[in-house]
Structure 1
Amino acid sequence: MSRKTRLRRELLAARRLLTSEDVENAASVLASTALVLPGLAGARTVAAYVSVGREPGTRVLLDMLRARGVRVLLPVLMADNDLDWGLFEGTDRLVPAGRGLLEPSGPRLGPGAVLEAEAVLLPGLAVDGRGMRLGRGGGSYDRVLARLSAAGAHPALVVLLYDDEVVARVPEEPHDHPVDAVVTPAGARRFAR
């Protein structure tokens, strides 16, 4: 078993121990902290995601961004694990998708729509002091990050995590990209890039 696989299993097991109340309380704090983070505070277009299960909650943040007039793009998982994008028009306009995910019900904007984002919220399981992120292992966001890099786009890359998911070292591979910041219930931390 690889170090990445082992670390993913440990982190997912810890998340399963969280209560719904833990997740809800963290979501409110994460939203408040994220909204004042440089790179996200003034963004007019943000690519985000809808949290599911015990992931750090994003719905409060999505609603707050939309209330500010921010254009929020949400991912739509395609058959090849790449991501298309649609507009967030409210939680009542989200529809169930494969793998327990929720996605926007409106028109698809194409995989390149993420290039318009000034900030990208990335799901993750951990981040280390260098800003290296450990994802779930599906590769969808690796493709997004490669697309941004190939286009010369440099949006603020932000990952939302629980406090104990900021770790000493994340195993990395050549295709991995560092993030600019992590937001946890304890606060935000920016990384030099």
Structure 2
Amino acid sequence: MTGPQPCQGAAKVAVRDQLLTGRRRRSLSEVGAAARAIADHLLTAPEIRRAATVAAYVSVGAEPGTTALLDDLVAAGKRVLLPLLLPDNDLDWATYHGPTSLAPARRGLLEPVGAGLGLDAVATADVVLLPGLAVSRAGLRLGRGGGSYDRALARVPVGTFTCVLLYDDEVLPDVPVEPHDRPVTAAATPGGVLRFR
């Protein structure tokens, strides 16, 4: 049988609702402190230190913040790629040159103003940092449900360091998954970097 299983889809919706409610309850100071701690952990991680190109994203709302992290990566001499959301929810990629190179886009996102490099540009990254709502201890990521990052991860070569940015309590024993869900190799939280394999 192909396609998502109804019970898993319903379970995902329920878990997503709980996690989003939890995020909305976080204070601005908690979000800011988490962003700084995550950035500090990632900047000292050997995978990031060795990387020439890092694919990342601009956080929105109560997601663990990425603003300082993006600027720290550029200051460290890294080439930073950020996603451009396409009408079909797939992701093109463009180079980040600092906060003045971002412009408002659909769905309340900020995106780089440069030309898109193509869907496969993410495959050139040594490290891929991505958003999520939770991850299991086996590295199975629960996203928001659009499938954008599952498609992007399918283009990333095996062995690439792929890391979801989360709060400590969003690393769960298990999360509902479907056949198209792609695992990640690590999670970065305020408590540190957890590697799954």
TM-score w.r.t. the length of structure 1 is: 0.95
1:138-149 alignment, distance < 5 Å = 138-148=146-156
Question: What pairs with 1:130-169 in structure 2 (closer than 5 Å)?
Answer: 130-148=138-156, 152-169=157-174
**Which of 171, 187, 193 is the equivalent residue of 1:188?**
193
Structure 1 residue 93, shift from structure 2 partner: 1.3
Alignment-derived partner of residue 133 in structure 2: 125
Distance 1:153 1:178 in 2: 11
Equivalent position amino acid for 1:29 in 2? A
AA aligned opposite 2:40: S
Instruction: Name the aligned partner's letter for residue 134 of structure 2.
Output: A
On the 8 A contact 1:115/1:153 being kept in 2, the answer is no
Structure-to-structure mapping, 1:52-71, within 5 angstroms: 52-71=60-79
- 1:68-89 per-position Cα deviation (integer Å, ceiling 9, x unaligned): 1100000000011000011101
Residue 27 of structure 1 is matched in structure 2 by 35
When the two structures are aligned, how many residues end up with a matched partner? 189
Instruction: Tell me how far 1:153 sits from its aligned partner.
Output: 4.7
Percent identical among aligned pairs is 56
**Of residues 176, 182, 187 in structure 2, which corresponds to 1:177?**
182
CA distance in structure 2 between the aligned counterparts of 1:130 and 1:4, rounded to whole angstroms:
17
Moved over 6 A (4+): none
Once the two structures are superposed, the pairs formed by residues 82-97 of structure 1 within 5 Å of their partners are 82-97=90-105
Deviation at 1:164, TM superposition (A): 0.7
Q: Give ranges in structure 1 of 5+ residues lacking alignment.
A: none
